[in-house]
Amino acid sequence: MDKPTGRLLPILKHLLASRGEFVTVRDLSDELDVSERTVKRELPGVEHWLSARGARLIRKPGAGVKLEAAKAQLDALIEELRAAGSAKDYSKDERHYFLISELLLAAEPVKSYSFASQFKVTESTLSADLDRAEQWLEPFGLRLVRKPGYGVYVEGGENAIRSALIHLVYESVAEDQMAGLLNGSPGDSASDPARVRSHIRSRLLNLIDEGASQQLQQMVEELEHSLDLKLTDSAYVGLGVHLALAIQRIRSGQRISIDGRVLSDLKKLDEFGKAERLAGRLEEMLGIEIPEDEVGYITMHLKGAETRLDGEHDNYYDHVSFELVRLARNMLKAAEAEFGYELKGSSKLFAGFVHHLGPAVERLRLGLDIRNPLLRQIREQYADVFDIAAKCSKILAEYVDRDVPDSEIGYIAMHIGAMSEYARAERPSPKVLIACASGMGTSGLLMARVRKEFPSFNLIGIASASEAAENREADFIVSTVDVETEIPVVRVSVLLSFQDVEQIRRFVSEEQRHFVRKKQRQNLHTDLVGTLEDHRQTLEGILDLVKHVDIADDIEARDVGELIAAISKRFTRNPEDAAVLERELHERERLGETVLSQDGLILLHCRSEVVERLTLGIFRFPDGIAAESEDKPLCLKAALLLLAPKASGKSYLQAAGEISKSLIDRPGFASRLSASEPDKLRGEIADMMRELYARKIEQYTLEVEQL
């Protein structure tokens, strides 16, 4: 098969745009506006076309289909599909967005045959598209008028048209792509959504060149600084989209109007003066006149913009009125009556809810749009919480004397849901100990994976096999090695495979009734001494690791055996000690490999008789060294070394565990080990230790308060 034709092309483009995620046959049928049976008939052709180019079509019952290919093959597919799709074949959703945007922007009626010609569809298909557009426009108070021989046009006020345009932008472009839409960065041109983004930028936001676009963003940043605001990313981008769209409409001669009394009240706000200065600079830059009503509209957006909490410096309740706190508490009381338990267990989560309500109240009172890109997902996956949030929103509606839209109810559900999860987590859950041979690197990796897969588990720590055998607190142990103990042990691989996850789930399901068990209370003196001793050991471990970071690019080794030999000599004082450390590192390696193949990184670690303190080593290999992973050869770019004294306790080893966890939890950390400058790496490691210490201080303080 040469060029994909007919329905193959849109199916292939949709699969490519899904970026390796499964797509259901239902989604494909909706996209092509055909039956599911028709899509299924086309799949063998898709499979054959992909197979001829070294790619695969993966089918999974209940999940759908997805495209699987190496990066080079994906790039080649993108180029081929771009060439094949040079002639525009509009999908159902593309027609929907293009049709609405053109109608909203049109200064006069548009002949229906021009749309039919542009989209290459029949009059009956276009009629169905117009019916869909009419339903979409109705909630904004806009009417779609169709007059035979005259054309099609939208009837309604400028305020409603702008509201609809902004909704169209957000509905058709993912929020994480919105900044790129403003500054003109290119998208993946092989995917249909990219054509929608390009259309929206060129038609809806086609107002300024790239240099002026950067000036606009700079102005927003200056405004943010002058108001001493910390806008959330969505609020920052939202303000930019509003300004871009407002300028476009002003240039086309469309002006917004605000009720005189509302405008008079807005002029009394500090934000109005800031908005006036911003408008003045835009007038100079673009050569346009921005009327006072537009300044008022900018002021409304500033007043309703959501800011972010700064966890390091902000007092959670600074600039928050007691009225908002009371409103939040009254809403939570209503939610607690539904849940049957208290929700205010986390002061930080409660502060976040109060912080959200401030701008939400302003937006509701000012009649501003409230968009929630996660609304459908919230309603589908958290229907019970959404229903409870809807009941709580009645208190908010009474407070602002306005109806609360579903989009805001969705945000309330997110906050209430987070507090509910925290409250439920405070109730008894299985206490799980993570174990490996040494209790260092491997167990840190395993703990990170278990935490991701089972967030409700109470992970009580990491331990070596011998320490785990003496533990009596855990409900069960997840270990990479055998442990001789009466406590149940679930044996898993280092990186926790899919089979391991299912094994743990089956075990928890069978043993759930045994997990609710109260720890026996000791006397105050013993508990206090134990907590302080743990604190001291944790601090010692952090100090030792930060003081003993060794980063080198000059280790000479051709394979892992030579690397271990070179490391052993580097960290010991005499040949006898070097031989001991080399043997211990090899023994640890034989228990299970710790290679992260995709990053070209090996983790070497052990507790040793000849090591005096916790030590971190990072060694990079510009030319690479040979290694194997799962019997497949690979080239190592770097090695991460963690060494600790043989008698190290688990509190002392917290710092080592934090480093190994970061290989999974901290995005890009593994790849930066082989590429970043030594000083930057030391700074990042110091930052990890600072975060660890801050968490442990909070934990130990709480433990002491509860004694």
Per-residue pLDDT averaged across 504-508, rounded?
82
pLDDT of 521 reads 47
* Beta bridge pairs of residue 642: 605, 616
Average per-residue pLDDT for the chain: 78
Pairing of strands 458-464, 489-491: unpaired
Residue 449 burial by Cβ neighbours in a 10 Å radius (0-12, 13-18, 19+): buried
Helical segments of 255-321, H only: 260-267, 270-286, 292-303
Pairing of strands 143-147, 595-596: unpaired
Residue 6, classed as helix, strand or coil, is coil
Q: Considering only CA atoms, which of 562, 658, 651, 574 is closest in space to residue 616? A: 658
0.75 surpassed by pTM: no
Residue 608, classed as helix, strand or coil, is strand
Residue 319 CA, chain-centre distance (Å), reads: 28
* Between residues 60 and 563, the one the model is more confident about: 563
pLDDT tens profile 20-40: 788 888 888 877 767 788 888
Q: How far apart are CA 359 and CA 304, in angstroms?
A: 5
pLDDT tens profile 37-92: 888 888 888 888 888 888 888 888 878 888 888 878 877 877 777 666 544 567 78
* Between residues 373 and 106, the one the model is more confident about: 106
Check whether 451 has a pLDDT greater than 60.
yes
Q: How far apart are CA 395 and CA 328, in angstroms?
A: 9
pLDDT of 389 reads 93
Q: Considering only CA atoms, which of 259, 235, 263, 238 is closest in space to residue 159? A: 259
Q: Considering only CA atoms, which of 681, 674, 663 is closest in space to residue 594? A: 663
DSSP 8-state symbol, 512: G
Pairing of strands 489-491, 595-596: unpaired
SS3 content of the chain, % helix, strand, coil (to 5): 60, 10, 30
From 186-190, 213-217, 333-337, 648-652, the region with the lowest mean pLDDT: 186-190
Residue 496 CB coordination number (10 Å): 23
460 in Cβ contact with 519 (< 8 Å): no
In order of their start, the domains of the chain are 8-84 (1.10.10.10), 92-204 (1.10.10.10), 210-303 (1.10.1790.10), 322-426 (1.10.1790.10), 431-514 (3.40.50), 526-705 (3.40.930.10)
H/E element holding 704? helix 678-705
From 29-33, 152-156, 443-447, the region with the lowest mean pLDDT: 29-33
CA atoms within 13 A on the CB side of 621: 23
pLDDT of 232 reads 63
